[in-house]
Amino acid sequence: MALAVLGLIVVADFDRTLSKYTHRGQICSTCHNVLEEGHVLPEFYKDEARALRDHYFPIEMNPKLTIEEKIPVMVEWWTKAHGLLSKCHITKDDVRIMVENSTARLRDGCTWFFDQLQATDIPLLIFSAGIGDVIIEVIKHQATLHDNMKVVSNYLEYDDQGKMTGFQDEMIHVYNKNEGAIHDSDYFQKLEHRNNVILMGDSLGDLHMADGAVGVQNKLKIGFLNVKVEESLELYMKKYDIVILEDETLNVVNAILRKVLQSEQ
């Protein structure tokens, strides 16, 4: 497959894809977990958020359920979670402090990956059902937020006093990454000359993140399988071109990118 640099775009999920599932044997935070870990939010939030996750996460990861069966359940989860957070009136500084003190970690090799994409002018679209404000802070804190990067996610909305009042725009959950948001914008139209895509995700819903891309000729789908490995491996191997098991690095992705860059020299 010829993935020429000038014709390449990278589309990646964030939680458990660009970020680690575990670090030194401990499970790392996702965007939403960052808020539960911190000392900023009240205990009622943490208790209720954990209860929601304990109930809904097994449903999200159940390989026996279809995506169609999961969608209304995910909408229910995200609606409750966002409503719960909206009660807490956090500020931008609160988000920054919680990120700095969290266990959220970018994968080993992620900084090199970001820097190389920037150096070679390859666009990186990060498409996440997490919280955009948290993603931005994680990247700023642990790497560099380059100007070739666009983060599409659920962003907090603030009032004139800088306190959160809710969320901006339409909700993005795990299984609607083929709708609205970036697909209704002109992002992909502006990049229609880039017809080769590297897509990176950790869920089946991530497979649709680049559905809005125009004129795609080649798409390399790289999946990170972190949980329920035995139950999900066969399905993931059918859906993704490459499946990476329980690996907290970007070594495979970076090796592919090196080959692409070398082919252009």
* 115 labelled catalytic: no
**In whole angstroms, how large is the CA radius of gyration of the chain?**
18
Alpha-carbon span 93 to 99, nearest angstrom: 10
Say which DSSP state 179 is in.
S
Q: Which helix (H) or strand (E) covers residue 215, if one does? A: none
Q: How far is CA 253 from the centre of its chain?
A: 16
Alpha-carbon span 231 to 229, nearest angstrom: 6
N-to-C CA span, the chain: 17
Alpha-carbon span 28 to 34, nearest angstrom: 9
Alpha-carbon span 22 to 25, nearest angstrom: 6
CA triple 9-216-74, angle to 5 deg:
75
* 13 labelled catalytic: yes
Contact 163, 50 (CB under 8 A): no
Q: Which residues pair with 108 in a beta bridge?
A: 249
Q: Which helix (H) or strand (E) covers residue 119, if one does? A: helix 110-119
Active site residues: 13, 15
